[in-house]
Amino acid sequence: MPVAMEWVAGGALGATLALVTTPIWSWLFRRTPEGDRWERREAPLPELARDLAGSYGGYAMVLTRSHKVVYTTAQAETLPVYEGTKLIHSGLLELAENAWNEDEMQSRRLSFTDLGPVADAEVRATRLADSYILLTVTDLTQTMRARQIRHDFIANIGHELRTPVTAVELIGSALEAGAEDPEMVRHFARRLSQESHRLARLTEDMMALAKAQDQDSSRFGEVNVLDVIQEAAGRHRTTSEEASIGVRVQASPGLTVFGDKEALVTAIDNLVANAVAYSPPGSEVLVSATLKSGEVAIAVVDQGIGIEAPDQERVFERFYRTDQARSRRTGGTGLGLAIVRNTVSGHGGRVTVQSEVGRGSAFTVWLPRRILGDSA
């Protein structure tokens, strides 16, 4: 073949090869963003991977082998775990890496201080064929918090029960030992009755709290507010008279709310009980109901010992008392205000407190007003 022909054939072959290989090359590889080398292109994200991640209601993302995030659910987008398009969270990366290397679903319970709203989570990583890793984060923060609250509550109940139960045991032994002495028997019988009363109150309050936390709105109906405050105040007539404390009731006419009358009476009853218990003889407690900015405001105002500012929010916590010894003397269970708060929030309302040490306290229950003709 003449040299010229060979040149032409060689050129044609080269051009054909270039024509065929260039698209293949650029299909498989591309320049790095820095432009200094070629990197393998990732296969396009298959619909299935996207659907899989998308159908996962919470936090889910799809990563490439090189930890580039190619898909996130709207929720996962808010996690502070990316730098540009790269996943940078070490805990998540480690799990993703394990899933890739083991080619097996990896699952781990992790606690985070840096995942924004997610404090506890179950994280799962799954390798999707040869190109991707699916990462899901199941938020367990609320579950863990609820578990902690339940745990603390049971521990608190144990602690609260231990005191009267131990007292009853000791009194029993003392009674036995002093059975011949009528004065001793009378003394210990009185103590026994006090401790049984405390146990009964604790049981009643625990049941009232459980009911307040799980309010049955099917029992709701139209409730006359004056009836509620009169009944609640009336339950303390004897105790307040014994302590020389005046309890006055005042209400704007015709106020009604939508709710469970018995539960509302119990809530206001707790506020009046505290007002009487933490007030000096000769003072007055005012229980009033008015309409304020469209809401029904039931206020229980006393001239008692008051509550220090840092305690004012904490008194609504279960078993929180500002003064253990005093609360024990007054026969308090430490659950009264927790019952109030739960009952009121179950009625779409709230409870607030204003107080000054040495001057008195005002607890106000705010409830939505029931307008005539409102339906449940």
Residues in contact with ligand ADP by the rule CB under 6 A: 270, 274-275, 278, 302, 304-305, 307, 315, 320-323, 327, 332-338, 361
Cα dist. 228→212, 232, 284 in Å? Answer: 16, 6, 19
Q: How far is the CB of 232 from ligand ADP (least distance, A)?
A: 14
CA separation for the pair 27, 15 (Å, rounded)? 18
Q: How far is the CB of 217 from ligand ADP (least distance, A)?
A: 24
Q: How far is the CB of 212 from ligand ADP (least distance, A)?
A: 12
Of the two residues 32 and 324, which places its CB atom closer to ligand ADP in the complex?
324
What three-state secondary structure class fits 282?
coil
CA separation for the pair 76, 139 (Å, rounded)? 11
CA separation for the pair 34, 359 (Å, rounded)? 72
Of the two residues 75 and 354, which places its CB atom closer to ligand ADP in the complex?
354
Of the two residues 81 and 337, which places its CB atom closer to ligand ADP in the complex?
337
Of the two residues 82 and 319, which places its CB atom closer to ligand ADP in the complex?
319
Q: What is the DSSP letter of 219?
A: G
Q: How far is the CB of 77 from ligand ADP (least distance, A)?
A: 43
Q: How far is the CB of 309 from ligand ADP (least distance, A)?
A: 13
Q: What is the DSSP letter of 218?
A: G
Within 13 Å of residue 7, how many CA atoms lie on the same side as its CB? Answer: 3
Phi and psi at residue 7, to the nearest 5°: -65, -45
Of the two residues 268 and 335, which places its CB atom closer to ligand ADP in the complex?
335
Of the two residues 45 and 161, which places its CB atom closer to ligand ADP in the complex?
161
Q: Tokens 């996943």 correspond to what residue?
A: 87
CA separation for the pair 336, 208 (Å, rounded)? 9
Q: How far is the CB of 147 from ligand ADP (least distance, A)?
A: 24
